[in-house]
Structure 1
Amino acid sequence: MSKPLIFTISAVWDDEASVWSGRCDDIPAAADAATLDGLLARMSAMALDLLPDNHPGVDPGSVYLQITALREAEPAAA
């Protein structure tokens, strides 16, 4: 088994557009999606597609994605 290669996706909620905007410079890729799961799916597809060009020789089975998400806190409902 290959050593895991972890790519970190930085995601920020865009309240005006109602989407998560994510980017990963190591892949390199950027995408928007309505949910974090959707963003993960889009970024995962891009990572596997771009892997041979940006990280030759890396086993796709060793690639993991980690999301760091930032969103403004919302007050609790009363």
Structure 2
Amino acid sequence: MKPLDYYNTLRPDQRNAYAIAAGTTLKYLRAHVFRGGGPTRTPSNRLIVGLAKASNGHVTLDEAIDYFLVRPIHQLVFEAKHKK
């Protein structure tokens, strides 16, 4: 599941708990990560991992990386393995 889709399933009180469990604040998530026009910032690696873990299995780490990073993790792994 995409991180934004998971976030949108949460009630307001659950969103705050999710933010705290991920290692950030709800204000930061609203302003920079899950805002209406798309993210204003790419979350740090630490926050991407935190968002995946805090979802309790609803968002995998691969899904979070694919959602937030321009080049999906699968492409990066492929390129690393086939780099000349």
Shared topology, TM-score over 0.5? no
Q: TM-score range by the shorter chain?
A: under 0.3
Q: Which has the higher contact order (CA 8 A, sep 6+)?
A: 1
Larger Rg: 1
**Higher strand proportion, which one?**
1
TM-score for the superposition, normalised by structure 2: 0.27
**Higher helix proportion, which one?**
2
